Structure 1
C-alpha cells in the first residue's frame, strides 16, 4: 500500500481528550448523584427503631423530653406544656397526600411541623412552598431518608446538610429542627442514633423525637390511628404521623377526626417549635439561598441527564437490535440469491440480474506499492497463480526498500513494474489505470494475497451492465493471538455482513482497497481515484454510486490481508479509515437529496454509516459509565442479564456470519473479552476522528507496519 505525499506534521489535537474526560466525569457525577438520591436509600417504614446498644445514650435523653438540645456539649430536653400537642408529619412531601393533609389543617385552623425528605422536596417544590405559605413549620428529615444511626460520618453530614440546602433553595428559609429517620420515642434511641444527634447538634440542630406514634404507616384503620393519637391525660405530647411513604388515605381521615376530638377536649394543636417556645425557622442568608438553589438545580440537572441517557440507551438498544435483524435478514436474502444464481449455472450473481454468459475476458490487476518488500512477493505470486487471465501492473510509489527491484527479480510472466516518485496511493492507482490494457480492472493492496479463483469470482457480476464496481471478501491472514482473533471477528461480522446488507439495499459505500474490481471507463468518467480524502476507496465507491453505477458484493472472491499486530498499529489504521470515511461522507453529503443510485447511497448508505458508525460509537462511553451506575445503584442481576442478552445477540449474529463465510467458530470465545478492550479502542478512534474533523486538522497518512506473514495460498486452499 502506498502512502500520501509528505506533509507538515499538524499540531496534535489534545484538548478534546480533556473535554471527553470532563464530559465523562460530569456524566459520572450526574449518575452518582441520581443514583444516590433515588436508589441508595428510600422512604419506607419510618417507625422501626434502630437496633443496637444504648450504652452511650445519656439518661437525660432516654428518660427526658422529646425535644433534645445537645448543643455545646450539654444535654437538655424539653416537652410541650400540658394540654399542648405538637403535631408532626414525616416522609413528605407527597403529591397526593400532603395537599390533602394541608387542607385538613387549614380546615381546623391549626399548624403542624413537616419533616421533609430532601429528594421528595426537589420533586415537589410547590408543595414545600405551600407548607411555608400556610404558616406550617419545616424540619430536616435527611436528604434520602437514610438511617443516620448506621451511616458513616460523611454520609450523616451529606444527609443533614443536603436536606437543609434543599429547604433553603426552595423556601428561602433554614430549619433548626431535625428528626432522624427510623427514630421514635426517647427510650428507643441507640448509640448510633445518639452519635448522629450529637453531630447534628454541633451544626446547630435540635432533635425532635415523639411521644405518640400513630403507627399510620401500618394502615391499621382510621379508628386505631385515632386511638393511638389520643392523649390519656393533660400532659403535652409530640404526635407522629406520615404524609408520605405510601398510601395515606387513613392518615388524612384520622387527622380530621383527631383534630375535632382534640378541640373538643381543649387541647392546643401546634408546631413543635411553638410547642416548646422556640423559633425553629429563620431566613436563610443570601449565600445559603444561592448554595441551596445550586444544589437543587444540580440534582434536577442530574435527573434530566439520566432521563436523557435512559431514553438514548433505549434508542440505541432498539437501533442495535434492528441492525442485527436487518443484517441477518439481508445476509440471508443475499445468500439465497447467490445460491439461485449458482443453481442456474451462471455463477453467483444477484437474482435480479438476467442470466448472462460467464465473464472470461482478461483483467488488469493494479498493485500500488510503497515499501512493501515484506509482502509484495507473496501478493504478486498469488495473483500470477490466478486461474483467470490477468495483466499485473505493480506501481512502485517511490519505495526506498527495494520493492520494485524485488518484483522485477521474480521474473514472473505478465507482471509489469512501473516506478514513479512518491505521490500517494491515489496517484499510483491512476498511473496504473492509464497503463491498463483491459476494460475490467482489479485493485489490490501490496499486503494482500489472492486465492487462485479470486479474480474469476470477483469479476462475474460485471455480466450485469449496470454494475460498475465489485467488492470482494477480505479475510485476516494473521489471525493468531487475541488481537488477531478480534479483528478476524470484525472482518467477518462487522464488514462482510454489512456489505451483504449494502448489496441488497443497493447502497454500497466502500469497495475495500484490499480487493475491488471496477470498469475502467466508469473510473475515468468520475475522474479516476481522488486524493481528497484518506479513504480513497470509500470516496471512489461513493463517486461511482452517485454517477449511477451499481456496486455489489461477491462473497466468494476472497483476499487475505495482514491486520495490525499491536494496539498502536491498529489505532493508526482505524484512525485513518474512520477519518477518511468521515471526509468521504461529508464530500458526498449531497447524495441525500439526489435520486436513483445516488439517493440510495445518500439516504440508506450514509444514514447507516452516520447512525451505526458515528453516532452510536460517540455515545458508547456513556453506555459504559451507565453500566457501572447500574451495577452499583440498580439491580446488578438485571444489568448482568441485559448484558448477557446483548452478548447473546452478538454471538448469534457472529455465528451466522461465520457460517456464511464457512469459518470455524472457535475464535468466537474471544467475543465477550472484545467488549472490554477492543470496543473501547474502536469508539475512541471514532471520537478522535470526529473531533479532528470538526477541528479542521488535516490528518497525515499512517502507514501500517508489515510483518511478512502472507503466504501464497495453494490451489486447494479454502477457509482457514
Structure 2
C-alpha cells in the first residue's frame, strides 16, 4: 500500500465561505494593513451583533415564560388566607355600617349603605372567557347594570371582555392583579398589585378605576386588626372600598334555589350582592342570576352599580394616553406569549422525545457495536503492517509540538512524520528541527490555513496510508497500529480514532471530558453501525490516499474541513469506520472564551458542510445513503435537539416558580438520572473512571446552556450568511505523551 504518487487536488469552485483577512486559516496573504484592520473591525462588529441577537432571542424566550407564569401566579405568590382575628383597631360604626367605605384626605373613614329596594349586583374574579359572556348576556337581556371586580391577570388575558363591559355601561372595579390576600403583603406588594391592575384596565378599555374590593373580603363585619390596615392603605390612595351585604355563596356551587335565597336581602333593605363570574363552573350562577333578577324586580327592586347606588359619579375614568399605550403593550406581549407557549410546549414534547430517543438509540447501538466488535474485532482479524505517513499541520504550536513529536517517535508502527509549518511566527519549525528526531520532515509554507497545510502534507507523503492529527495532540505508542487496522478491509477509506481530553483536571476540562466520552465517542459507535459517520476528528484520523483523491482532498470551503472531507468520502463510495482502541489525547480549551471560539467554529462549520453536501439527500448509491440516513441524524441530533434542549431546563424553572417545585425538580432529576446512567455506560465502554461523572449535574446546569448559546449564535450566523475567520486557540502544552491510558486519568 505504499507509494509516493503526488496528490493532485482540484481547485475550489464556486464561492468560498472563508475568505477574510490575513488570519490563521484565511487563505492567501492579505491586502494592505489599514484595509485588513478595517475588515477585522467589521467582522468583530458583525460577530457582536449576531451574538447580541442570539442573546436577545434567548432573553425573549425567558421573558415570555416569566410573563405567562406571572399571568397565572406571581413569582413567590402567597396562597395564605387569613382567619378572623380581633378587631380592636376597627371603628365599631364601620363594622355595623354599610358595605361601602370612603376615606377623606385626613384618613377618616365613612361608611355608606345601599338605599332601600336597591340592588347593586357585583361579580368577582373575572373576566372568564366561558362564563362572563353568559352573565353579560343575562344582564343585557334584562337591561340590568353590574359592577365587575376584575383581576388584572385575567384582564390581560381577556381584554375584549372588559371592553364589552365598559361599552355596555357596566362598572369596573379592581380586585388586585393576582388574587393574593393583601393582609399578608407589604405596602410595596400592595402598590404593585394595584398599579398593575390599573395598567391592565388602561390597556384593555382605556379606563382606570377608583373602586376596590380586596380578595377574600365579604361583609364589613369581617374587618379585623389584620385587614383594616389594608383598607386604610388603599383608602389613602383614593380608592373606594366595596364590601357586600349578601353573599350568594355560589363559589360553593349549591343548588340554584339556594344561591337565589342567599343573595336575597331581608325585607326591603338595599344590598350589595356578591356573585362570581369566574373561578370554576358557574353554570348554576348564570341560572340563579336569571331567577334572581326576576324575583327582585317582582318585589319592586331597582338595579344599579355601586357608585350609582350612592348617587356618585362613576368610578371609571379615562386613562392617560401614556398609560393606555403601556397597558396595550403589556396585553400585546401577553397575547404573543399565549400563542407562543403552546408552540413551546409542543416543541418541549418533541425535544423530550428526541433526547430520550437519542439516548436510547445511542446506548442500544453502542451496546450492539461493542458486542459485534467482541466477535470480529479488528484486533483479532489481521494487522496492517504498511508504513504510514503522519501529517501534523502546525501554526504557532511551540507549547505543544515537542510533546506531539515525542509521542509519535514512540510509535510501535513504522511511520514517517511530516510537520507542515503554516507560516508560524513563534519558532515552531525551529523547535522541530532542533529535536533531531528520525523520520521527521519539516515542510514550510506561507500562512494558508489548515486545509492547505494538510494538502501540502498529503502531496509530499511517501505512503498510501495517511494519518492526520493536530499539533496539540499526543498519541499512545499503539495508537497508529490500532488506527490502521480497519484498512485490512479494502472498502474502508477512512478511520476515526478515539479522541480524549488530556487536560481534564480542571472543571472546564472535566465537562469536555464527559462530552467527548458520552457525546462524541458514543455517537461514533452509533454512526459506525449505521455506516454514516459524519466526522473524522481532526485530532486523530486515518485515510487512504486514493480515498482522499476521490473526495477532492481537504477543502477550505468550510470551517469544518474534517466533517467536509468525511461526507465527501461517503459520497465517493468509501466506508468510514470508528476504531475506539486508537486513542489520542488532545488539549481542550481551558477557558470559557476559548471554548466558545472552538465550538462556534465547529457548529458553524458543520452547518456549512451539511449545506455544501445537501444534494446527497437526492443522490443515489452511497452518496444518497449518507444523505438519507446520516444527514437527517446529524441535523436532528447535533443541531435541532441541542438547540431546543434548554427548553427542558426553562420549563423546569417555570414549574419550580409557578407550578409545583417538588414535581418539577423530581422530573428534572429523573432526566438527569437517565443521562447519568447513559454516561456511566459510555464510561464503562471507554474504560474511564466514574469519578469524573461527579460534575455531570453542574455540567447540565452551566455547560449545556453555554453550548446552547454557541449553537444559537452559529444558527444566527448561518441564517445571515455571514463570513467567519479561523480562530486560533491559545495552547498551554500541558498534555504530554502518556505511557498508558491510565496515566492521564
User: Does the TM-score normalized on the shorter chain lie above 0.5?
Assistant: yes
Q: Which of residues 612, 617, 626 in structure 2 aligns to 1:592?
A: 617
1:40 is the counterpart of 2:65:
no
Mapped partners of 1:516, 1:645: distance in 2: 37
1:710 is the counterpart of 2:736:
yes
Q: Greater CA deviation, 499-508 or 675-684? A: 675-684
The question of whether the paired residues in 2 share the 8 Å contact of 1:386 and 1:454 is answered with yes
Counterpart for residue 66 of structure 1: 99
The question of whether the paired residues in 2 share the 8 Å contact of 1:214 and 1:226 is answered with yes
**CA RMSD, 1 decimal:** 3.3
Counterpart for residue 303 of structure 1: 338
Query: How many residue pairs get matched?
Result: 707
Alpha-carbon shift at residue 536 of structure 1 (Å):
2.2
Please list every run of 5 or more consecutive structure 1 residues that lacks an aligned counterpart in the other structure: 349-355
Alpha-carbon shift at residue 717 of structure 1 (Å):
7.1
The question of whether the paired residues in 1 share the 8 Å contact of 2:403 and 2:733 is answered with no
Q: What are the within-5 Å matches in structure 2 for residues 361-380 of structure 1?
A: 361-380=386-405
DSSP-derived class of the 2:498 partner: strand
Q: What are the within-5 Å matches in structure 2 for residues 296-695 of structure 1?
A: 296-342=331-377, 347=379, 358-619=383-644, 624-693=649-718, 694=720
Structure 1 pair 255–571 and aligned structure 2 pair: CA distance change class (3 A): closer
Mapped partners of 2:59, 2:94: distance in 1: 45
1:4 is the counterpart of 2:25:
yes
The question of whether the paired residues in 1 share the 8 Å contact of 2:473 and 2:586 is answered with yes
Alpha-carbon shift at residue 134 of structure 1 (Å):
5.0
Mapped partners of 1:269, 1:706: distance in 2: 84
**Higher relative contact order at CA 8 Å, sep ≥6: structure 1 or structure 2?**
2
Q: Which of residues 85, 92, 97 in structure 1 aligns to 2:126?
A: 92
Q: Greater CA deviation, 229-238 or 160-169? A: 160-169
Alpha-carbon shift at residue 564 of structure 1 (Å):
3.0
Q: Greater CA deviation, 475-484 or 190-199? A: 190-199
- Cα deviations across residues 470-503 of structure 1 (Å, max 9, x unaligned)? 1011122232233332222111111101111222
Mapped partners of 2:310, 2:667: distance in 1: 55
Mapped partners of 1:257, 1:600: distance in 2: 73
Alpha-carbon shift at residue 209 of structure 1 (Å):
0.9
Structure 1 pair 474–168 and aligned structure 2 pair: CA distance change class (3 A): closer
Alpha-carbon shift at residue 439 of structure 1 (Å):
1.7
The question of whether the paired residues in 2 share the 8 Å contact of 1:381 and 1:712 is answered with no
Counterpart for residue 724 of structure 2: 698
Normalised by the length of structure 1, the TM-score is: 0.88
Q: Which of residues 277, 289, 304 in structure 2 aligns to 1:243?
A: 277
Q: Greater CA deviation, 51-60 or 508-517? A: 51-60
1:14 is the counterpart of 2:48:
yes
- Cα deviations across residues 223-258 of structure 1 (Å, max 9, x unaligned)? 433332232222222122222222334433443443
Mapped partners of 1:103, 1:434: distance in 2: 86
The question of whether the paired residues in 2 share the 8 Å contact of 1:41 and 1:145 is answered with no
- Cα deviations across residues 387-420 of structure 1 (Å, max 9, x unaligned)? 3333333333344555445444555444334344
Please list every run of 5 or more consecutive structure 2 residues that lacks an aligned counterpart in the other structure: 1-22, 31-35
Counterpart for residue 18 of structure 2: none
Q: Greater CA deviation, 702-711 or 22-31? A: 22-31
Q: Greater CA deviation, 668-677 or 476-485? A: 476-485
The question of whether the paired residues in 1 share the 8 Å contact of 2:586 and 2:735 is answered with no
Mapped partners of 2:313, 2:546: distance in 1: 92
Structure 1 pair 185–49 and aligned structure 2 pair: CA distance change class (3 A): farther
Structure 1 pair 593–157 and aligned structure 2 pair: CA distance change class (3 A): farther
The question of whether the paired residues in 1 share the 8 Å contact of 2:125 and 2:279 is answered with yes
Mapped partners of 2:356, 2:568: distance in 1: 31
Counterpart for residue 314 of structure 2: 280
Mapped partners of 1:91, 1:606: distance in 2: 53
DSSP-derived class of the 1:40 partner: coil
Alpha-carbon shift at residue 518 of structure 1 (Å):
0.7
Counterpart for residue 186 of structure 1: 220
Counterpart for residue 80 of structure 1: 114
